[in-house]
Amino acid sequence: MDLSNAVWVFIGCSLSGLLTALTGIPMYLRRQSLAGDALAHALLPGVCLGIWLSGYRDHWLVYLAGTGTGLLSIALINAIQKRSKIPEDGATGISLVLFFGLGLALLSSMQRAGFGNSGVQHLIMGKAAAMLPSEVYVLGGLFILALILAWLLFRPLWLFCFDPEFAQSSGMPMRQTEWFLNLWVALVVTASIRSIGMVLTAALLITPAAIGHFLSFKPKYMIGISMLSAGFSGALAAWWSAYQPGISTGAAMVVLLSLFAFFVLLAWPNLGYLSRYWISQLEKKRWIQENILKELWKARGLSDQELAFRCGISDAKSLRIKRSMVQQGLIDKEKGSWTLSRLGQEKASSVVRRHRLWESYLHERLNLPADHLHDNAEIVEHLLTDELESRLEAILSKPEQDPHQSQIPYKKS
Amino acid sequence: MESKPIVDVHNLTAGYRRRPAIWNLDFQIQEGKFTGILGPNGSGKSTLLKCLLGQITPYTGYAHLWGQNVDKVRHRIAYVPQKESVDWNFPATVMDVVLMGRYRPGRFWQRLGKKDKEAALYWLEQTGMNHLANRQIGQLSGGQRQRVFLARALAREPSLLFLDEPFAGVDAGSAERILHMLKLLIEQGKSIVMVHHDLVSAGKILDNAILLNTRLVASGPVSEVFNHENLSATYGSDLSILSDVIDLVTRNPGRFKDPRNQKS
Amino acid sequence: MISAAVLITSLLIAINASIGGTFLVLRRMGMLTDAIAHAILPGLVIGYLLAESRSSPLITLFAAATGLLVTLLIYWLNKYLNVWVEASTGMVYTSFFALGILGVTLFGENADLDTDCILYGELLWIPFRRPLSGTFLDFAPWAVWQQLVLLGLWAILLLPSWPIWKSISFDIDFARTQGLNVERKNLQLLALVSLSTVWSFEAVGAILVMGFMLLPAATAWLWVKRLEHMLALSIALAALSAIGGYALAWWINLDPSTTMVLVSGTFFLLSLLWQRKSTLRVG
């Protein structure tokens, strides 16, 4: 095939994004994301060894040795936890730094032995500019294999991630599955370090899965979202590196992916932090509106100052909210005092009804004294649904009065 | 003899992650009494204890000790957490842990003196742990661990002691010793508040009880509180509407605050 | 060539790192050192670009602030957006590190930083980075002064309130009910860990810093039953592996930072193999 280098890079980066994202999901769900980080760092001694022995950086020995040291690092994490009091995070850190230190020692011995750089530096930081077609073929093969495996083994693997003990009790071999997953991660990470780089592979194992999990609880959507976001950032990074050849594709990929992740976490509709803040502001406004309706229901014809005082809000704020309530046709102003419209009347009586019904429930069913009901009802009146309201009516058998002997306004049927 | 209230809880609603676990509680605890907080799992016992200790801020209402915020009276209280709450592999001896109870905030030079060591030794003796003073804490049995925690709390010489299920996972000998110590404290005029879940022993050892199931079921002397009606209300009654409303409160995006704070 | 300046610097770095590491290992914040060590890179790059000199305090300030920021961001993601703590750690530090690498590859020449420095550190160059000649400071390299300041800060932080540190590290909730200002102490600890990482970065690189922090502390934990002893042993082990590592580096002609981590790691693995009952975890 005759494809220009840029296209190879483009395909390679997108593929490694898709592949690592898919691979990272079981790691993420088993809450072993940081073990993935250790594994990626631990490839260094293996890869160095492989290159040293074979003399090529895409030789099968490189993949074999890289996968081998990657797996060894996981074994070391397990051994430290099992044989000492060091907890998981300490064990992970220790394993990571030991293998990486060993790798660095090998790397500088290689350089001193006149081996040149052999592009190992680029394997650490990730630079796809010189990607070989053979490396892309390996990535492609692994990707197809990953899709087939995920398709075939989706249910048992998902169960294994969610509840390994149950999976074991239903006949799934625990240790074998665990090591199969570790082996797979090691293979994938070895294959994709050319484009991403060891030190940053963790990002592609973790961040896409975290985005997917944040946006959806459904497994298939979660997987889809993760793979798409990683694949796109890989493609974009390759495109970027075509214009600016000096940059590290791995870093570019991770920066793009992280930007997307932080955008999602902050601003995704309904879920992001800022969106939730915005929604909470809207909800606050609704509560204030309902409070205004309620006060007007209790005492018609309140002036601006009286209304603001009773609802406990500033004049400026009440002005804005009243303006929007006039637009909704809930209230009218007559000669400097406010009254309810017909629609407002209806809504206000519903708020008062819920308030008083809830007070009756607290008083009768939870035996709270009469002077403790109000504050709680001030909150719950804004939340009750029609369904809960009718259930309350049914349990309490439509009381005439609330515990403070005020009339409960029912809908006229 | 009429005793003064030492704990005053008023209209207290609190929980985690916006989900109320206790709902409008209202009760008082008398000085010099052995009071138990009782209720089934998930009834908000631990949440209540955390509120009393000032570890979580209530959504509405307050929990006062001696009529003040807990932060003002921390030197007068002590706390025995569940023994599962710490890592027992921590490099410390039994003596080290008991000495931890002696630290007081505020001074710049906060090293411990001879007086502190003597106090720690005294409480180790009282709990029957002095022969293990130099042992690493990881090598203790469950009952011994609980006794170390008790000694650490008592080394603070508190007037009010809080315990979180002190008899859970504890051998009979240790349980007896702990109970004996608690009774001595009551005799000395100290007050004890204990989260407990065993109803059978509760009737024998407690003076007062607070029955909890999200809301307060009853509070008062054990003899009055322990009746069939209250117990069945505590351990399983239909609270489906309440739990639905709690769901609503949890899911509602609005800020859940004391309306009086909003009005101020 | 054996340089006293290099040896003294690495001794001090190892000692300071092992003090912070002791608390981090005990409080299960081991991977946080990894996160901070990676994440200060963009802070360093911005600092270099702004200051245009290697010894400006601006660099330290930016980088240490980035380290703290990362810690707070991890905490914030976990608390307010329910991102699992290991995932938020991984997400946050890789994004900062990637940003830093991008900065290095784009502006590396102006910033006098390259990827070698990030990986290995430049311990052997330490003696040549000295304060301006003629001042009374110039008989020792910058790094030595930095590490001495750090050692002083650790002493000021730990000595007067040692019992408080013990209590907080063992049982943070109990420390809260004692009325100790736990949050302030946590911030002080993290600030010093962050500073320690920044000032060792140049010498030992981004990833090996973690070895200097975790390995001596974890090894010491296997042998002792009191926190005082753990701290003392961890400092001793750190010093020993700095000296041993330097000798090894000189002997087999490798980067001293790498060999120091390897010596330290050998101590750990030997202790691990020396199976005693007290090294095992209890429930």
Q: Is 70 exceeded by the pLDDT of residue B110?
A: no
Clarify whether residues A145 and A216 are in a common domain.
Answer: yes
What integer pLDDT is reported at residue B3 of this predicted model? 59
* A79-93, A208-222, A298-312, C250-264: least confidently modelled range: A298-312
Residue environment code for A198-218, b if the CB has 16+ CB neighbours within 10 A, otherwise e:
bbbbbbbbbbbbbbbbbbbee
Alpha-carbon torsion angle A193, A195, A201, A205, nearest 10? -110
pLDDT above 80 (res A371): no
Q: Which of A225-229, B233-237, C150-154 has the lowest mean pLDDT?
A: B233-237
Q: Average of pLDDT values for C202-212? A: 88
> Residue B200 burial (CB < 10 Å; 0-12/13-18/19+)?
exposed
Say which residues have a Cβ less than 8 Å from residue C39's Cβ, sequence separation at least 6.
Answer: C66, C67, C70, C92, C93, C96, C97, C100
Place of tokens 């914040």: C29
**What domains, with CATH codes, occur in chain C?**
4-128+142-272 (1.10.3470.10)
- Give chain C's contact residues with B (Cβ, < 8 Å): 26, 28, 160-164, 166-167, 169-171, 173-174, 176-181, 221, 224-227, 229-230, 278, 281-283
pLDDT of B260 > 90? The answer is no
Find tokens 């000395």 and name the residue. B188
Residue B262 clears pLDDT 50, i.e. is over it: no
In one-letter notation, the amino acid at residue A349 is: S
Instruction: Look at residue A357 and tell me if it is in a domain.
Output: yes
Higher pLDDT, residue A4 or B138: B138
The residue ranking higher by pLDDT, C282 or C8, is C8
User: Are A197 and A301 in the same domain?
Assistant: no
Tokens of B200: 């059978």
CB neighbour list of residue C17: distance below 8 Å, 6 or more residues apart: C196, C200, C209, C212, C213, C238
Q: What is the tally of structural domains in chain A? A: 3
With a threshold of 0.90, tell me whether the complex ipTM lies above it: yes
Q: Which CATH number does the domain housing residue A300 bear? A: 1.10.10.10
> Is B256 a residue whose pLDDT tops 60?
no
Q: Indicate the residue of B61, B245, B260 with minimum beta-carbon distance to A383.
A: B245
Q: Which residue has the tokens 């909730």?
A: C173
CB–CB of A250 and C275 under 8 A?
Answer: no
Within a 10 A sphere around the Cβ of B227, how many other Cβ atoms? 11
Would you say residue A399 has pLDDT above 90?
no
Find tokens 């909150």 and name the residue.
A379
**Do A280 and A221 belong to one domain?**
no
**Residue A302 included in any domain:** yes
Residues A248 and A281 in one domain: no
Let me know whether A261 and A306 are in one domain: no
CATH code for residues B5-263: 3.40.50.300
pLDDT of residue B112: 80
With DSSP H G I counted as helix, E B as strand and the rest as coil, what are the percentages for chain B, rounded to 5?
A: 40, 25, 35
Please, which residues 73-112 of chain B have a Cβ atom closer than 8 Å to chain C?
74-75, 77-79, 81, 85-93, 96-97, 99-105, 108-112
Residues in chain C: 283
pLDDT at residue A1, rounded to an integer? 43
**Distance from C-alpha of C48 to C-alpha of C38, rounded to nearest angstrom:** 16
Chain segment C229-282, per-residue pLDDT in tens? 999 999 999 999 999 999 999 898 888 899 999 999 999 999 998 867 666 777
Residues A230-245 have a mean pLDDT of: 89
Mean pLDDT over A330-357 rounds to 86
With an 8 Å Cβ cutoff, are C174 and B97 in contact?
A: no
Contact C255, A104 (CB under 8 A): yes
CATH value at residue A63: 1.10.3470.10
CB-based contacts of B67, cutoff 8 Å, min separation 6: B8
CB spacing of C176 vs B55 below 8 angstroms: yes
Last-in-domain residue among A340, A367, A383: A340
Residue B258 in this model has a pLDDT that exceeds 50? no
For β-strands B160-164 and B191-196, DSSP reports them as: parallel
Pick the residue of C167, C219, C228 with the most B CBs within 10 A to test the interface with B by mutation: C167
Interface of B with C in 149-178 (CB under 8 A): 152, 156
Mutate to test the interface with C, among B70, B110, B148, B250 (most CBs of C within 10 A): B110
> Cβ neighbours of residue A16 under 8 Å, at least 6 residues apart?
A139, A191, A192, A194, A195, A196, A204, A234
pLDDT band at B145, cuts 50/70/90? very high
For residues A284 and A189, state if they share a domain.
no
Q: What is the mean pLDDT of residues A10-37?
A: 92
A180/A281 same-domain check: no
In angstroms, the first-to-last Cα distance of chain A is 79
CA atoms within 13 Å, Cβ hemisphere of A287: 26
Range of the domain at A385: 344-396
Please tell me whether residues A49 and A120 are part of one structural domain: yes
Segment B64-105, tens digit of pLDDT: 999 899 988 988 999 999 988 899 999 999 999 999 988 877
Q: Report if residue A410 sits inside a domain.
A: no
Residues of B in contact with A280 (CB under 8 A): 253-255
Residue A401 lies in a domain: no
Q: Do B138 and A276 touch (CB under 8 A)?
A: no
Mean per-residue pLDDT, C163-176: 90
Chain-chain contact of A205 with C105 (C-beta, under 8 angstroms): no
Domain CATH code at residue A372: 1.10.60.10
Q: Give the Cα separation of C42 and B226 in Å (integer).
A: 64
Q: Which helix (H) or strand (E) holds A108?
A: helix A88-112
User: Which of B70, B74, B85, B100 would you mutate first to test chain C, the one with the most C CBs within 10 A?
Assistant: B100
Mean pLDDT (whole number) for B50-61: 89
pTM over 0.90: no
Q: What is the mean pLDDT of residues A366-370?
A: 76
Claim to verify: residue A169 and residue A84 sit in the same structural domain: yes
Distance separating alpha carbons of residues C154 and A76, to the nearest angstrom: 32
Decide which of B111 and C10 is more confident.
Answer: C10
Domain boundary among A239, A268, A297: A268
Q: What gap in Å lies between CA B245 and CA A389, rounded to an integer?
A: 11
Q: What are phi and psi of A184, to 5 degrees?
A: -60, -45
Specify whether A230 is located in the same domain as A254.
Answer: yes
Residues of C in contact with B77 (CB under 8 A): 177
Nearest CA in chain C to B158: C178
Regarding whether A228 and A121 lie in a shared domain, the answer is: yes
Least confident segment among A360-374, B24-38, C111-125: C111-125
In a shared domain, residues A199 and A175: yes
Average predicted confidence (pLDDT) for chain B = 84
- Window from A29-38, A234-243, C48-57, C236-245 with minimum mean pLDDT: C48-57
CB distance A20 to A230 below 8 Å: yes
- How many interface pairs between A and B have CB atoms less than 8 angstroms apart? 74
pLDDT at C214 over 90: yes
